[in-house]
Amino acid sequence: MRENTPVKTFIPLAIVLVSATGYGLWYQRTRGEFRKKKTVNGPKLTAAIVGTELGARATMVQFSSAFCTPCRATKVLLEDMVKTLSDVRYAHIDAESHLELVRKLDIRSTPTTLFLNHAGVEVGRAMGTPKRAQVHAALAAIH
Amino acid sequence: MSVSIDARGPRWSALITTFVLAIALITSSVWLIAFQSVIFAIGALRGPQFTPYALIFKKLIVPRLKSPATLEDVRPPQFSQGVGLAFTLVAIIGSATGATGVFTVAVGFALAAAFLNAAFNFCLGCQMYLLILRASK
């Protein structure tokens, strides 16, 4: 008999729900998490590239795009945090209009925030909106 | 400046979409996918706040909610509706040409995205848009 009538099967649904749940849990856990850069000889960013003066100790460079809901919340948080930190600066870059830089730094999703040391070298990055405490901890580790 | 909408709306719509796509996947119903693709088309072209799901949310759910509305940019959910439309169109083409495997995989991906949005507040535009740009320009 040929299969002309649709066959009811729960197998594809089960596969999708199980793998999406696995991914979703990983996604939720890793958003905003500071990841230390493994190699220290990354490209050096300058004030001309990021569009703002670099901080005396550290600089946070956020990449955003139009189709990104958490980008705005991230911007509000980081802008607020640097207000009380005299040696840390914040820079905001529209990823879409800086694709060359995005490729060079291998930015894959938005928002991505790079943490630069005083010399403008990336020491780590966070994808998604970090929590205030996560940003504090990341900045405290930069001397 | 782009339009702002109630942030809870897209997540509600994603919940309904998850159920519709799940039933379509179980029953292999191309008609249900055609229906969902019309919803996605309205969401992608006119805006996610104009779909029937969003209207249900506005008329029936919002009056019963106690928490105040937080506003968000309409563009990220609109982008997601466009991605959903692309997946359902691929599924319809797959079904029409007899490629049932293509149908199942395309519906599976659309379902995964809708489910992730509903359950984990997943931002599809955040994860996909830059990769598409990097690949195409």
Chain A residue with CA closest to B132: the answer is A108
pLDDT band (50, 70, 90) for residue B115:
very high
Please tell me the predicted confidence (pLDDT) of residue B91. 98
pLDDT tens digits along A82-99: 999 999 999 999 999 999
pLDDT at B66: 87
Which residues does B26 contact at the CB level (< 8 Å), separation at least 6?
A8, A9, A10, A13
In a domain, residue A61? The reply is yes
Nearest to B133 among A15, A16, A99 (CB): A99
Interchain proximity A68–B25, CB inside 8 Å: no
* pLDDT, position A1: 46
Query: Which pTM value belongs to this model?
Result: 0.91
**pLDDT per position as a tens digit, B72-96:** 999 999 999 999 999 999 999 999 9
- How high is the pLDDT of residue B1? 58
Q: Is A111 at the interface with chain B, CB within 8 A?
A: yes
CB pairs under 8 A between A and B: 101
Task: Give the best residue of B70, B123, B137 to mutate against chain A (max A CB count within 10 A).
Answer: B123
**Confidence band for B69, pLDDT divided at 50, 70 and 90:** confident
Any idea which of A16-30, A63-77, B1-15, B104-118 has the lowest mean pLDDT?
Answer: B1-15
In a domain, A4, yes or no: no
B108: closest CA among A30, A41, A20, A82? A20
**CA nearest to B5, candidates B40, B67, B49, B59:** B49
| ipTM confidence | 0.91
A134 lies in some domain:
yes
Which parts of chain A have pLDDT scores under 50? 1
Domain assignment of residue A74, yes or no:
yes
Q: What is the greatest pairwise CA distance in chain B? A: 48
Domain that holds residue A40: 32-140
Give the gap in angstroms from C-alpha B21 to the nearest C-alpha of chain A: 9
| Domains contained in chain A, number | 1
Q: Which residues of B touch A111 (CB under 8 A)?
A: 126
CATH number at residue A105: 3.40.30.10
Q: Is residue A20 part of a domain?
A: no
